[in-house]
Structure 1
Amino acid sequence: MARLRIGIDTGGTFTDVVALDEDTGEVVTTKTPSTPADPAAGFAAGAAKALRLAGAAREDVAALCHGTTVATNRLLEDRIDDLGFVTTEGFGALLEIARQSVPDGYGNSYFWVKPPRIVPPGRVREVGGRLDHTGAELRPFDEGSAVAAARRLRDAGVRAIGVCFLHSYANPAHELAMRDVLRREHPDAVVSLSCEVLREYREYERAVTTLVDAAVKPAMGGYLARIAAGAAARPLVMNSNGGVLSADEVARRPITTVLSGPAAGALGAAFVVAHSGHGSVVTLDGGGTSTDVAVVVDGEPTLTTEGAVGRHPVKIPMIDIVTVGAGGGSVAWRAPEGALKVGPRSAGADPGPLCYGRGGTEVTVTDAHAVLGRIPPHLLGGEVPLDVAAARAGVEALAAELGLGVERAAAGVLEISAWNQANAIRQITVKRGLDVRDYPLVAFGGSGPLLACRLLDVLGSPAAVIPENPGNLSAFGLLTVDVRNDHVRTRVVRDTELDPTLLGEVFGELEREAAEALQREGFGEGRYVRSADLRYHGQAFEVRVPAPTGPPDEAFRAEVVRRFHDAHEALYGYCHRDGGGQHPVEWVNLRVSGIGPITRPRLRERPPGDGDPSRARTGTRRVYFDAWEDATVYRRERLAPGDVVDGPAVIEEFGSTLPLHPGFRARLDGYGNLVVTR
């Protein structure tokens, strides 16, 4: 019988693979270089390598889970071509008007220029017809103008179209009619409707989210078809909301895959460290191109719908992740004013850092680590030899430009990278009202553990946890998540005027949609999680709170409102629990998530060793921390639970390295995690 579950996470530099044998619990991990020109080739190579290492055949694969950056990278790189927009007559300037907001406030953005909008004016078409906010028809759908719009876009060569009519979240009839026209007049077009992508009010965010979905649909559709054709099992694809869906479902709504890989990393970290008693942590996923940070509270990553990918607001449920261009391949450069800067540009997988010997010409963070001896002269257990001499020559040239010594310049590159990561962590903790000193740091990814000790100093975190096989944790995280789909309806109504019958009708409709989606995924039964977005009348944004199970009656309504008051007070320090008529509560959005549970991996606690880490010692190496020192080098897989290593030391493994600074200590716990403390 098929017994292997494989997780494949395609990153900007490496494709990470984990194969889990469900019969024995044995885990095989490996990496292959990513293939940016055709990510499907890297996917296939990773799957084949995992099967070879596991001694298995294609028919042994029971499940295949995938985290992809195809949609995200197209948005980050602004590779958006031939995109058209159809909207309600009179609202053609919707994208241009957008929101009256400037990044970082006007004082810090005096020279800010509004970026080009996602669809140029010449590809916007208006169609007659109008609905009010309840979904009632004020003017009928104008098929004549719809036909003219479809033909104009067809003649202009537009192949991807987003449709967003005013108030279609309340009544999708006009958008469905527009799709019928497009199918008849422009059958080659790929079409996304806002009523299917995001049935939630706020027309600007709904329009951009729909357009982003349309923009990535052709590329994602082709990519998913290629990996499905060569896959040993039906692929499941990681979504931003913390669940997976089949490739067929994702092809219908590819917007759900933005931040796919980072979401898997946060979930994998939460799953692994929960066994060691760490329910609330900050996760730091350091890759070759970027570093992604998230917060896990009581075992669950925090969710948001106020996200963005690049310059595009994306209003879909996603794990709250902050990304910064501070990975191993981030380029160090001298700014015009003479200062040393690092990132956000990356050398990526091709050509990569100088030490890769593939034609790279710029110093990167990895080169600085190599010059200072903090990583071995090879990666992936010797599969990728490093040219340390080339890295040193590059750092010497940069140091000469800056008027610094070689060691000082290399250490400066790492210091700036550490502060870039620390600022991202502060953005997701301090800016959210959380004290970073209360949360251990879980560092993983190929480059995540490299700056862990310095981050403990900068942030004041109590400890850093380095999971086993940290370079492959995102791929492992893909094997820990359930199938999940999200559904939303906007119903703006004051609590004092709310009829609980309305709640029952809307939640019932959403749960039926969730059940149908789970049935398409092969689940006869599932679990349904309700939530609601509420606010005080006059506020611009909402607070989401979980809603209880059971019939939506008066007690249900009162419990949700109580949870809203509690959440508002926790977030902002005050609430209007007894506000009466002055601060009435408004219900805004109702949500249901359909969850199809999977069998999760079992983590087994290991017996303690004899407390002598010398069995893992492989020698010493000169490493530069604040000065050159003789650091003891250890192989992580030879350490046993209870072993303690004191810095200066370097702990090496297949996919990552932990430089342990002087004054720091690492202890291996019963589940194979290295716990680093001062």
Structure 2
Amino acid sequence: MSVSYWLGVDTGGTFTDFVLLGDGEPRIHKVLSTPSAPEQAILQGITELGLKDAMAAGQLVIVHGTTVATNAALEGKGARTVLITNQGLEDILRIGRQNRAELYNLTPTPPPSMLDTVNVEGSPARLDARGKEVIPLSDAGLTQLVEKVLAHQPQSVALCLLFSYLNPAHEQRIRQALEAAGLPVSASHAILPTRGEYERGMATWLNAWLAPKVADYLQRLQQATDPAPLAIMQSHGGTIASDQAAGLAVNLLLSGPAGGLAAARRLGEQLRQPRLMTFDMGGTSTDVALLDGDLRLTQQGHIGPYPVAVPMVDMHTIGAGGGSLAYVDDAGLLHVGPHSAGADPGPACYGRGGNQVTVTDANVVLGRLQPDFALGGSLTLDTAAARHAMKTLASQLGLGVEETAEGVLALANEHMTQALRVISIQKGFDPANFALLSFGGAGGLHVCALADNLGMRSALVPRRAGVLSAEGLVYAPRKREQLQALPDGAGDAALRERIGTLQHQGSAELIREGVGAEQIQHHVFVDMCYQGQSSVLQVPWQPAVAAREALFHDAHEVRFGHRLALPVQQVNIRVQSQATRTPPAQPPLPARTGEAIRHTRLPGVDQQVAIYHRDTLGPGQTIQGPALIAEAVGTTWLAPQWQASVDAQGHLLLTRPGA
């Protein structure tokens, strides 16, 4: 069965984005998201793109970035879960790491947590720190444990025993017994086989808590799209077949945003611009990240209040998007976000009953979002409704309508600027040495202001920037991130044995997806630290121990500014197994020179503003600001003193001469 089309589908809080390859020029599409049943928006888009026949024939590959796991975690809507740990350690997840939000409060009130509702059972079996059995798991003890778990009538079970990453035998027996009783089980030796019972336990509990909801959604989507192949983006920037993804919900928490970074990496390679700071501004939030040649992964991520120690793209998210609500507090101060108007009713300008000001309304009031260009003209913008909502807000501030709109945008821009500082300046990177890559439906309207705030001299607005995350999904590799903790004092022979095991495991999973063995590439890394440290740094595998240690010393000095005269420990082995995708090539941009379709005056701008349609621009063309460059999925506001050049692929390269 040959594949004719490749479809990237990115579900956001406001819109669901589609990018279709395989039919000449890439086709793009947007529909309003349906949060209660996300598959409905996906099926609507597939129908409107005329792909039902190709899907029914299995000629359509669908790669999907989903927010189901993220939303369930943030909204506290996981499954009824029982946690099994060792006797005496039942409170380990509630105790946590003792990180306090109020350092000097001697009697802090613990914030409410979904962990407060989790039933915990303890297993009497025990392993020592080398994985050797100290207290065996008897048949009678196992039967009693299963009976206790079943009495809670759980929908899912999380299983996390001490040192199971060195010896999973006890977890495997308990898992088999519970699965025989009809319960889905997430076992820590399969979810995160590494040290740190708190982080390992949290990852396992999150997976168990979220997996039933994710599995139910993916099953509905797979049934609706069958027999079309369906792959899901994972948090580390690689995809996985939907049937394998259902049981790995914790790996999908950054599924959607990771697609944009996959596209950013590909774009950086094409433009020979490896140093990028990205900001993906959607309807409800903005995601920012930094690329220095490749995606930066972290195991210190968070989703809401919960630590997530599985590998994920290093990203910072704030509640500032096109749908972020503006309001005045009791002290008369203006705020923007983090609450959002969402897809329904949406901003006031959508004409769907919303009456509160959003960032999108501010752009409409200031003329930067023209009604005839919103979503290619398919979305009718109600300028009068936006102005009416802004007038109500302005009256509370004692300001004019346009002045209030400018204040809303200034606050939203400052929120995003602060987020970009977190992932750059606070980590030792100078933003001036990077280019700012803007994407997402609302990003182009703010890119110049953010670059100015950060002292950056260049920026990029890629072609189809409003759906770049969806496009990145199609090009993302099929990938597995395998991890295994090492016992103390493990020699090179033991390391090589574990590397071989992880490579075989990664290959087997990819082959199950239909990947040829000859297509699979493996990349090996070692997590290392100084003796006595708890945090690790990742270095590429080298055959010689001395070479690995030298790389670690260098990495430690770069990250922390010094190196120590202490022994170095090898903590974990990591293997990345991946196979690249080869979707159809995109045709080059034809030679042409687009003219401004009209000129207009905008509030707060002293000059005439030229308005261009991006689809008419040709390679090599240069546009001077102020200008609006509109396309079907977004508008770029080219501020005064900025200029934009169109490259051979149609990307906008923004510079500020003399900056």
TM-score band, normalised by shorter chain: over 0.9
Distance in 2 separating the partners of 1:203 and 1:117? 19
In structure 2, what is the equivalent of residue 472 of structure 1?
A: 467
* Cα deviation code 1:301-326 (max 9, x no counterpart): 11111111111111111111111111
In structure 2, what is the equivalent of residue 180 of structure 1?
A: 176
Secondary structure of the structure 2 residue equivalent to 1:119: helix
Distance in 2 separating the partners of 1:177 and 1:486? 25
Question: Contact conserved, 1:128 with 1:142, CA < 8 A, in 2?
Answer: no
In structure 1, what is the equivalent of residue 491 of structure 2?
A: 499
In structure 1, what is the equivalent of residue 156 of structure 2?
A: 160
Query: Which one of the candidate residues 653, 667, 672 is aligned to 2:645?
Result: 667
- 1:328 and 2:307 equivalent? no
Secondary structure of the structure 2 residue equivalent to 1:651: strand
1:156 Cα shift?
A: 2.9
> Do the aligned partners of residues 39 and 607 (structure 1) sit closer, same or farther apart at CA in structure 2, a change above 3 Å counting?
closer
- 1:7 and 2:8 equivalent? yes
Paired letter, 1:163: L
Distance in 2 separating the partners of 1:45 and 1:508? 45
Between stretches 432-441 and 594-603, larger displacement belongs to 594-603
In structure 2, what is the equivalent of residue 351 of structure 1?
A: 345
In structure 1, what is the equivalent of residue 98 of structure 2?
A: 100
Question: Contact conserved, 1:608 with 1:670, CA < 8 A, in 2?
Answer: no
Question: Contact conserved, 1:373 with 1:621, CA < 8 A, in 2?
Answer: no
Query: Which one of the candidate residues 581, 587, 592 is aligned to 2:575?
Result: 592
Question: Contact conserved, 1:480 with 1:601, CA < 8 A, in 2?
Answer: no
How many percent of aligned residue pairs carry the same amino acid? 37
Paired letter, 1:391: A
In structure 2, what is the equivalent of residue 16 of structure 1?
A: 17
Paired letter, 2:8: G
Query: Which one of the candidate residues 505, 508, 525 is aligned to 2:500?
Result: 508
In structure 1, what is the equivalent of residue 375 of structure 2?
A: 380
Question: Contact conserved, 1:6 with 1:61, CA < 8 A, in 2?
Answer: no
* Cα deviation code 1:97-152 (max 9, x no counterpart): 1002134x737x89974333433266111111101121100101144444344333
* Cα deviation code 1:354-397 (max 9, x no counterpart): 11111213111101111111101152111110111111111111
> Do the aligned partners of residues 230 and 289 (structure 1) sit closer, same or farther apart at CA in structure 2, a change above 3 Å counting?
same
Distance in 2 separating the partners of 1:78 and 1:383? 35
Question: Contact conserved, 2:285 with 2:321, CA < 8 A, in 1?
Answer: yes
Query: Which one of the candidate residues 452, 465, 472 is aligned to 2:447?
Result: 452
Question: Contact conserved, 1:603 with 1:671, CA < 8 A, in 2?
Answer: no
Paired letter, 1:77: E
> Do the aligned partners of residues 262 and 291 (structure 1) sit closer, same or farther apart at CA in structure 2, a change above 3 Å counting?
same
* Cα deviation code 1:645-666 (max 9, x no counterpart): 1122111100000112122111
In structure 2, what is the equivalent of residue 642 of structure 1?
A: 620
Distance in 2 separating the partners of 1:520 and 1:312? 32
Query: Which one of the candidate residues 296, 312, 328 is aligned to 2:306?
Result: 312
Paired letter, 1:42: A
- 1:402 and 2:397 equivalent? yes
Aligned ranges 1:40-189 → 2 under 5 Å: 40-51=39-50, 58-59=56-57, 61-103=59-101, 106=103, 113-120=109-116, 123-184=119-180, 186-187=181-182, 189=183
> Do the aligned partners of residues 377 and 62 (structure 1) sit closer, same or farther apart at CA in structure 2, a change above 3 Å counting?
closer
In structure 2, what is the equivalent of residue 633 of structure 1?
A: 611
Query: Which one of the candidate residues 550, 558, 561 is aligned to 1:573?
Result: 561
Question: Contact conserved, 1:85 with 1:119, CA < 8 A, in 2?
Answer: no
Question: Contact conserved, 1:273 with 1:467, CA < 8 A, in 2?
Answer: no
In structure 1, what is the equivalent of residue 597 of structure 2?
A: 618
1:402 Cα shift?
A: 1.6
Question: Contact conserved, 2:26 with 2:586, CA < 8 A, in 1?
Answer: no
1:169 Cα shift?
A: 0.8
Paired letter, 2:308: V
In structure 1, what is the equivalent of residue 421 of structure 2?
A: 426
Question: Contact conserved, 2:94 with 2:115, CA < 8 A, in 1?
Answer: no
- 1:564 and 2:547 equivalent? no
Secondary structure of the structure 2 residue equivalent to 1:326: coil
Distance in 1 separating the partners of 2:410 and 2:215? 41
Secondary structure of the structure 2 residue equivalent to 1:301: coil
In structure 1, what is the equivalent of residue 522 of structure 2?
A: 528
- 1:417 and 2:412 equivalent? yes
* Cα deviation code 1:560-605 (max 9, x no counterpart): 21211111111111123xx2xxx11011111111112321553555
Question: Contact conserved, 2:79 with 2:213, CA < 8 A, in 1?
Answer: no
> Do the aligned partners of residues 73 and 616 (structure 1) sit closer, same or farther apart at CA in structure 2, a change above 3 Å counting?
farther
Paired letter, 2:213: A
Question: Contact conserved, 2:79 with 2:212, CA < 8 A, in 1?
Answer: no
Distance in 1 separating the partners of 2:432 and 2:112? 40
Long gaps (5+) in structure 2: none
Alignment TM-score, normalising by the size of structure 1: 0.92
Question: Contact conserved, 1:276 with 1:671, CA < 8 A, in 2?
Answer: no
In structure 1, what is the equivalent of residue 38 of structure 2?
A: 39
1:91 Cα shift?
A: 0.2
* Cα deviation code 1:165-209 (max 9, x no counterpart): 11111111111111123234x42x322111111111100111111
Aligned ranges 1:145-294 → 2 under 5 Å: 145-184=141-180, 186-187=181-182, 189-231=183-225, 233-294=228-289
Paired letter, 1:343: G
1:44 Cα shift?
A: 1.1
Between stretches 398-407 and 110-119, larger displacement belongs to 110-119
Between stretches 85-94 and 151-160, larger displacement belongs to 151-160
> Do the aligned partners of residues 604 and 216 (structure 1) sit closer, same or farther apart at CA in structure 2, a change above 3 Å counting?
same
Distance in 1 separating the partners of 2:504 and 2:132? 23
Distance in 2 separating the partners of 1:370 and 1:640? 27
- 1:490 and 2:491 equivalent? no
Secondary structure of the structure 2 residue equivalent to 1:373: coil
Question: Contact conserved, 1:51 with 1:58, CA < 8 A, in 2?
Answer: no
Question: Contact conserved, 1:2 with 1:59, CA < 8 A, in 2?
Answer: no
> Do the aligned partners of residues 630 and 264 (structure 1) sit closer, same or farther apart at CA in structure 2, a change above 3 Å counting?
same
1:335 Cα shift?
A: 2.2
Paired letter, 1:561: E
Secondary structure of the structure 1 residue equivalent to 2:49: helix
Distance in 2 separating the partners of 1:524 and 1:417? 47
Question: Contact conserved, 1:8 with 1:47, CA < 8 A, in 2?
Answer: no
Distance in 2 separating the partners of 1:618 and 1:447? 22
Question: Contact conserved, 2:137 with 2:170, CA < 8 A, in 1?
Answer: yes
Between stretches 484-493 and 207-216, larger displacement belongs to 484-493
Alignment TM-score, normalising by the size of structure 2: 0.95
Distance in 2 separating the partners of 1:285 and 1:431? 20
> Do the aligned partners of residues 411 and 56 (structure 1) sit closer, same or farther apart at CA in structure 2, a change above 3 Å counting?
same
1:426 Cα shift?
A: 1.0
Question: Contact conserved, 1:3 with 1:60, CA < 8 A, in 2?
Answer: no
- 1:547 and 2:541 equivalent? yes
* Cα deviation code 1:505-561 (max 9, x no counterpart): 22122122112212222224111111111011121200011214xxx4xx2x22221
Distance in 1 separating the partners of 2:84 and 2:354? 44
* Cα deviation code 1:251-306 (max 9, x no counterpart): 121211110110000111221242122111011111101111111112x1111111
- 1:389 and 2:384 equivalent? yes
Between stretches 663-672 and 89-98, larger displacement belongs to 663-672
Distance in 1 separating the partners of 2:591 and 2:272? 17
> Do the aligned partners of residues 164 and 672 (structure 1) sit closer, same or farther apart at CA in structure 2, a change above 3 Å counting?
same
Aligned pairs, number = 651
